[in-house]
A and B are shown apart, each in its own frame.
Chain A
Amino acid sequence: MQVAEHDVLVIGAGGAGLRAAIEASAAGVSVGLVTKSLLGKAHTVMAEGGIAAALANVDGRDDWRTHFADTMRGGQYVNNPTMAELHAREAPDRVRELEAWGAVFDRTNDQKILQRNFGGHKYPRLAHVGDRTGLEMIRTLQDHGIHLGIDVHMEWTVTRLISDGGRVVGAFGYDREKGRFQVFRAAAVVLATGGIGRAYRVTSNSWEYTGDGHALAYEAGAELIDMEYVQFHPTGMVWPPSVRGILVTEGVRGEGGVLRNSEGNRFMFDDIPDLYTGSTAADAEEGWRYTQGDKEARRPPELLTRDHVARCIVREIKEGRGSPHGGVFLDIAWIKEKLKDSEAHIRRKLPSMYHQFKELAGIDITSEAMEVGPTTHYVMGGVKVDGETQMSRVPGLFAAGECAGGLHGANRLGGNSLSDLLVFGKRAGEHAAKYAGANPRSAASGAENEQVEAATRDALAPLERQDGGGDGVGSYAIQSELQDLMQAKVGIVRSQAELESGLADVLALKERSRNVSVAGNRAYNPGWHTALDLPNLLLVSEAVARTAALRKESRGAHFREDHTAKDEHWGKTTLVVRKGADGEMEIEEEAVTPPREELQQIIEENR
């Protein structure tokens, strides 16, 4: 068995993983960075709109307090207040640091970092580079990181964490190239594996987003929170079928794009939630002025939070006012009524959207409306961590970015993800390095051997069943069935009956997946890789279905058609998922931590 040894092992090389690796490395410890893909390909490249940070370059009234209050309001006040505070306070420094490492953001007229409007943010707050901010961010971190002596393990997948005496001491994984196994010994492990989007049929996520970090942490004894909150981004492509789910940035709406139904009505004006009545534009004219930087104007309803916009779109489609291919219309071309040279303006502000629609759908967004509909985008739920250190309840195990829970509460604001990656990636790296320094790795024990043997057996099983041992069920087929059932029964609009039926289906699929068999050998075999991802996908799907069935209210991204209102009890309750002593999934209600007094006051002032 090959062995790699590091002080800190970071699993996942998107924004959070890279930032954690950079920080740990800067602290002087040895760092290994494991990534399922090639370096620089992680889902962070897909982030388009920008990084939320109260730099106050465009509107001097912005500050961390307002950003904090916006984040809490967007999350329906069930966020971890410590994380929301640290995030708002530290995001500006993290953005400026990127510039020091070579990032080139769009500029204001006075040559500072330009910021744009986004849903749920009171002021223009998103530092951006056209609509390819994520690429700029990941490339900047990558190009900075490669000169720091970090050992990058490209195209390796971790399938199990190794524990010893209650702490995490490493991981076990395989490489895609040859299917070789390796033990990664480490004094501290940072999970930065992103989300769970592949559990759904319509998703903006790539093959990698199979809930690996969630599942690794759960199996190692950590807890997951907020798993019922899955964000469906309101605007994904809907046509042609093969591109269904690909993201259309909220930046389109930030630049003045409007949503219309088949009757030409701007339906977002029809339903403004109570929390936002005072801050939403009275009419189309005021909304347009807001997108053009008029500080007196209030935001157009298209820029309400993602959960709400997604539901309004679903309503329009359900009630028969959708577009020809089952979406609604998103129109940025209309701004030609307002701006001369609008065509060039759109291409400059939204270059990759222009490109994407032109090449994949044959649509010119400068002259035609797009068809869009909700797509699975993000999971608010994740590993329960200490807000300051990002350590889970398992000593030595940290989590950052999408696979950690708490910051976003019941709904994440656009732009808060990239800032989350930077702020908490840095914190996780810093504290993991500190932990590793104080608690060095001990020599490999018998515990390691036992776990490695079990992990090896599990990893090889799908290949060994190919000669008649299994019932011939393939890994792609199981994944595909799971995606259909999660989409249909544990999706945007939920009910008790469907959730319970969905859970039963997930459990049945879990049984069948024990017999999954794959053809071929261990060399770069996607069928085998898919089989090894399945337990993780099934586990997070079970967690989402179970928690969603328990939460009998609607809040943020969790919408129940049989309990449409918010409920006081549930507003004070977090659902915590863990592996019980009997090996079954256990869910406990826990009280939401109230913000300390100063923070509560900030929330009140910004209501």
Chain B
Amino acid sequence: MASRTFRIWRGEQGADGQFAEYTTDITEGMVVLDAVHQIQAESAGDLAVRWNCKAGKCGSCSAEVNGNPRLMCMTRMSDLPEDRPVTIEPMRTFPLLKDLVTDVSWNFEVKKRIKKFKPRAPDAADGTWRMDQRDVDRVQEFRKCIECFLCQDVCHVLRDSHKHDEFVGPRFFVHAAALEMHPLDTEDRLEELKEAQGVGYCNITKCCTKVCPEHITITDNAIIPLKERVVDRFYDPVRNLFRIVTGR
């Protein structure tokens, strides 16, 4: 059993925070979240941390571990360098509530602004639909998203440029892509994607894809196809000419 040192961000809303140092024993197979819980039970009962499933399925325990956006429950202690303390900070893109917990409510508000699923009329008399597994596979990739918001955390349009009012962020482009590419969906979301939701702000640095714990190919499979659809609709010269000529 080896003892390890942690530097964990402590602070409350509106107050200056700072790192506090804790030492705890690490046993085989432990993940960062286990260490945080152990510290809580041993010496910091009021250390705030969000978590639920502890199996990488709910996306609650997002934080920045040694500067990298990670799920604490899926980050094994044995994968972190042993020669220095483990640093744990809250996601920096969202306002701090306390310690490792941030106010992510903005994400829940943004989602409401994306038009909901609108299926075509059922294919069969019993009100059911037919879909091919191949078509299903494509959207299932997006539907794996566990809403951990790590992609939002690293997106520089949000993190550095604070475009929260004009840009919905990678999570919601994945959501929009899941709807747009849903085999049954008939809604049109391109106008909002271009205007209010700001898909054009993304300049494809792929930071979001790199941190996705579900390994969703966010940029290539979701954002770029949405950008292409927007371009086809609004910037295609042939179509623009057609529009001018026909007045439609």
Interface residues of chain A, those whose CB is within 8 Å of chain B, are 37-43, 45-46, 96, 99-102, 104-107, 110-113, 129-130, 132, 135-136, 139, 143-144, 146-147, 152, 154, 177, 206-208, 239-243, 246-247, 352, 355-356, 359-361, 474-477, 480, 518-521, 523-528
Q: How many A-B residue pairs have CB under 8 A?
A: 174
A99-B129, A146-B111, A521-B46 known; A132 vs B56 contact (CB < 8 Å): no
Chain B min CB distance to A553 (Å): 35
8 further interface pairs, Cβ-Cβ under 8 Å (given A45-B146, A104-B143, A242-B34): A39-B108, A96-B128, A154-B105, A177-B103, A207-B52, A240-B30, A359-B74, A361-B29
**Which residue of A113, A129, A206, A527 contacts B143 across the interface (Cβ within 8 Å)?**
A129
CB-CB under 8 A from B31, the residues of chain A are: 242-243, 360
**Contact call A241/B51, Cβ cutoff below 8 A:** no
Contacting A at CB under 8 A, from B64-119, are 74, 76, 97-99, 101, 103-105, 108, 111-112, 116-117, 119
Decide if B28 is an interface residue (CB 8 Å cutoff): yes
| In the bound complex, CA of A240 to CA of B99 (Å) | 28
CB-CB under 8 A from B231, the residues of chain A are: none
| In the bound complex, CA of A256 to CA of B244 (Å) | 61
CB-CB under 8 A from A136, the residues of chain B are: 143
Chain B min CB distance to A408 (Å): 22
CB-CB under 8 A from A40, the residues of chain B are: 58, 147
Contacting A at CB under 8 A, from B182-212, are 182-185
Decide if B217 is an interface residue (CB 8 Å cutoff): no
CB-CB under 8 A from A242, the residues of chain B are: 27, 29-31, 34
**CB-based closest 4 A-B pairs:** A240-B29, A520-B46, A527-B45, A102-B117
Main secondary structure on B side of the interface with A: loop
Contacting A at CB under 8 A, from B3-18, are 12-13
CB-CB under 8 A from A526, the residues of chain B are: 40, 45-49
Q: Which of A102, A208, A352, A355 has the most CB of B within 10 A?
A: A102
| In the bound complex, CA of A107 to CA of B130 (Å) | 9
| In the bound complex, CA of A56 to CA of B140 (Å) | 23
| In the bound complex, CA of A38 to CA of B101 (Å) | 12
Interface residues of chain B, those whose CB is within 8 Å of chain A, are 12-13, 27-31, 34, 40-41, 45-60, 74, 76, 97-99, 101, 103-105, 108, 111-112, 116-117, 119, 122, 127-133, 136, 139-140, 143-144, 146-147, 179, 182-185
| In the bound complex, CA of A111 to CA of B128 (Å) | 10
Chain B min CB distance to A293 (Å): 16
| In the bound complex, CA of A317 to CA of B119 (Å) | 51
| In the bound complex, CA of A26 to CA of B103 (Å) | 30
A135-B146, A524-B97 known; A37 vs B52 contact (CB < 8 Å): yes
Q: Which of B40, B41, B179, B184 has the most CB of A within 10 A?
A: B41
**Which residue of A129, A147, A352 contacts B57 across the interface (Cβ within 8 Å)?**
A352
17 contacts between A and B (CB under 8 A): A41-B59, A43-B52, A46-B55, A96-B127, A139-B143, A240-B29, A241-B28, A243-B54, A247-B55, A359-B56, A474-B45, A475-B45, A518-B45, A523-B12, A523-B98, A525-B46, A526-B40
Chain A min CB distance to B75 (Å): 9
Q: Which of B34, B55, B60, B119 has the most CB of A within 10 A?
A: B55
Nearest residue (CB) in B for A476 is: B41
| In the bound complex, CA of A521 to CA of B29 (Å) | 33
CB-CB under 8 A from A139, the residues of chain B are: 143
Nearest residue (CB) in A for B52 is: A206
Chain A min CB distance to B178 (Å): 8
**Contact call A144/B116, Cβ cutoff below 8 A:** yes
Nearest residue (CB) in A for B43 is: A519
CB-CB under 8 A from B119, the residues of chain A are: 100, 102
| In the bound complex, CA of A297 to CA of B34 (Å) | 45
**Contact call A480/B101, Cβ cutoff below 8 A:** no
Chain A min CB distance to B22 (Å): 15
Chain B min CB distance to A384 (Å): 28
A132-B144, A526-B46 known; A177 vs B55 contact (CB < 8 Å): no
CB-CB under 8 A from A107, the residues of chain B are: 131-133, 136
Nearest residue (CB) in A for B109 is: A146
| In the bound complex, CA of A99 to CA of B131 (Å) | 11
**Contact call A45/B53, Cβ cutoff below 8 A:** yes
**Contact call A360/B140, Cβ cutoff below 8 A:** no
| In the bound complex, CA of A113 to CA of B133 (Å) | 10
CB-CB under 8 A from A130, the residues of chain B are: 140
Nearest residue (CB) in B for A109 is: B133
**Contact call B56/A355, Cβ cutoff below 8 A:** yes
CB-CB under 8 A from B122, the residues of chain A are: 100
CB-CB under 8 A from B116, the residues of chain A are: 102, 143-144, 147
